[in-house]
Amino acid sequence: MMLLVDAGNTRVKWALVDANCGPGAWRAHGAVPHAQLDTLAAAWTAGGATRALVSNVAGPQLAERIAAVLPAGIAVEWFASTSVRAGLRNGYREPGRLGCDRFAAAIGARALAPGQDLVVATCGTATTVDAVSAEGVFIGGMILPGLALMASSLARNTAQLPQVAPGVLPALFGDNTIDAILSGLLSAQAGAIERAVAGHRATACIVSGGAAPHIAPALTIAHTVVDDIVLVGLQAVAAWTEEETGC
C-alpha cells in the first residue's frame, strides 16, 4: 500500500492506493486545510501504507508538519521536478524550478490521455495551465491568480466593488454588479484555458482543482474534469517506479 500526498497552498489532499487501483481509484482519500493536518495521523497510520510519495509546494514548515504526521517507519519520497520522470520529459528551461505539483499534474494528465497533445489546467489558489505534447514533453504553461484570489483582489483594491463568491454561472453580460464580476472572473479563467488549447492545438483538455466545478461550466471547448490530478500523477509515478524496480 502507498500513501500519496499533495500539499497545496491551501489544502492537503491524500489517497491510499495499491497495485490493483486504476488511475484515480483510491482505497481511501481525503483533504483537509493546513490547520487540520494533524487530524490525518490516525487515518494514515490505519491505512497500513509502507511507502509515501509526497508533493509539497507549501514550503518547508508544512513539510516538517507532514513528516511529523506520517506513520513511523514509512519510506518517504519527496517528489520533485526532474528532467525526466514516468516517461515525461521536462522542457522547462530549468527543470528543477518547475513546481512539483505542475509536473505531477502533467504526468497524471498524460496517463489519462496518452499520445495526445493536451492541456491540463489546475484551478486552485493559483490557476496553472500547462501544455504536454503527444510525444511526452512538458512544454511549459501559464500561471495566473486563482478564482478566489482574483475576486479578493478586485474587492480589496476598488472602492465600491463587493467581495463575491463563486456561484451559478451568470449570463455573459451581467445585468447587476455581482453577476458582472462573476462573469468577468470566470471569463478570465476560461479564456486562459481556451487560449492554451487553441495555441497548442490540443486534442485533450483536463481541468482539476477546487475551483474546477465553477470554471469548467464557463468553458466552450471539450474538456474533462478530473478530481485530484496531482494525486493521479503521483500514482502514475509510483506505478512507473514499480515497473522499473520490480518492487
Lowest mean pLDDT among 11-20, 76-85, 181-190, 191-200: 11-20
Q: Please state the domain extents for the chain.
A: 2-78, 115-228
| SS3 category, 132 | strand
Look at residue 232 and tell me whether its pLDDT is greater than 90. Answer: yes
Q: Which of the 8 DSSP states describes residue 161?
A: P
Enter the pTM of the model: 0.94
Q: Residue 93: CA atoms inside 13 Å, Cβ hemisphere, count?
A: 1
Please count the other Cβ atoms lying within 10 Å of the Cβ belonging to residue 140.
14
Spatial separation of the C-alpha atoms in residues 177 and 220, rounded to whole Å: 23
Average pLDDT, the chain: 94
Residues above pLDDT 90, as percent of the chain? 85
Range 113-126 average pLDDT: 97
Q: What percent of the chain has pLDDT over 70?
A: 98
Grid coordinates representing 212?
Answer: 474546477
Tell me the mean pLDDT in the region 154-182. Answer: 90
pLDDT in tens, 23-74: 888 999 999 999 999 999 999 999 899 999 999 999 999 999 999 999 999 9
Alpha helices in the chain (DSSP H): 41-46, 60-69, 100-112, 147-156, 177-200, 212-215, 229-245
Given a cut of 70, whether residue 108 has pLDDT beyond it is: yes
Q: Which one of 6, 101, 179, 228 is the catalytic residue?
A: 101
175 a catalytic residue: no
Bridge-based pairing state of the strands 204-208 and 118-123: parallel
- Cell triple for residue 223? 474538456
pLDDT of residue 215: 96
- We find that the CATH architecture of domain 115-228 is 2-Layer Sandwich (3.30)
Q: What pLDDT does 245 receive?
A: 47
CATH of 2-78, one of 3.30.470.20, 3.30.70.940, 3.40.1280.30, 3.30.420.40: 3.30.420.40
